[in-house]
Chains A and B, each alone.
Chain A
């Protein structure tokens, strides 16, 4: 069974750094891209970017380029999303999702989400 299990909720202060994780199981982790999606409170889904764990090739949505860093450690089948200096506006639910084989494939499996709260 394909599963993506994300790390738990986080409460941080503005200016702090953070790295959240997404562990894949039940499939060949290095063969499928992992994407990240943001959902701000009361808002819709926003595409952040995607990584290919096989070679760490990463593409960011223009809106998130330079704001976050996406990485992966294929040895432990885990993808990451990190911030170097959080802002209150980073408060949101963050989902990881597996992309199918092709460039325009859907996000076929999703993690349960990680709630990030940034508040002073």
Chain B
């Protein structure tokens, strides 16, 4: 069981907006630690999508955005495209685990 909780699956039609949630606690997200998001496409190296809660690395489309509030964080994808179908993971740090990095269980995004 992951320290950060993500819904196992989310789906949306092309062009729609979807939101992926990441719920933690007062020892991780709620403690003020940054949340990062990664995209895993089959057969390819994982990719950093959002860092520091709401920042996009160079080359990541502005269709992707992140936010954080309290003990939760969210990844929003607008204008959904078929190529967005992938697994998405949130990641933060946990003070109860020697400030070890912790991941969410991942969300499988299906584009209908």
Q: Is the CB of B89 within 8 A of A112?
A: no
Q: Is the CB of B91 within 8 A of A106?
A: yes
Q: Is the CB of A44 within 8 A of B102?
A: no
Chain A residue numbers with a CB within 8 Å of B99 are 103
Q: Is the CB of A45 within 8 A of B89?
A: yes
- Say which size band chain B's interface belongs to: 20 to 34
Q: How far is the CB of B29 from chain A (nearest CB, A)?
A: 12
Q: How far is the CB of B111 from chain A (nearest CB, A)?
A: 21
Q: Which residues of B54-86 are within 8 A (CB) of A?
A: 57
> Mostly helix, strand, loop or mixed at chain A's interface?
strand
Chain B residue numbers with a CB within 8 Å of A95 are 45-46
Q: How far is the CB of B70 from chain A (nearest CB, A)?
A: 18
Q: Which residue of A is nearest B6, CB measured? A: A44
Q: Is the CB of B44 within 8 A of A106?
A: no
Residues of A within 8 A of B (CB): 4, 35, 37, 44-47, 59, 61-62, 95, 97, 100, 103-113
Interchain Cβ contacts under 8 Å between A and B, 14 examples: A44-B103, A45-B106, A47-B100, A47-B101, A61-B101, A62-B98, A95-B45, A97-B46, A100-B51, A104-B33, A107-B36, A108-B51, A110-B48, A112-B45
Complex Cα gap A35–B99 (Å): 14
Q: Is the CB of A44 within 8 A of B52?
A: no
Tell me which of A4, A46, A59, A106 contacts B52 (CB under 8 A). A106
Complex Cα gap A20–B57 (Å): 29
Complex Cα gap A46–B98 (Å): 15
Q: Is the CB of A44 within 8 A of B51?
A: no
Chain A residue numbers with a CB within 8 Å of B17 are none
Complex Cα gap A61–B91 (Å): 14
Complex Cα gap A114–B51 (Å): 25
Residue B24 CB within 8 A of the other chain: no
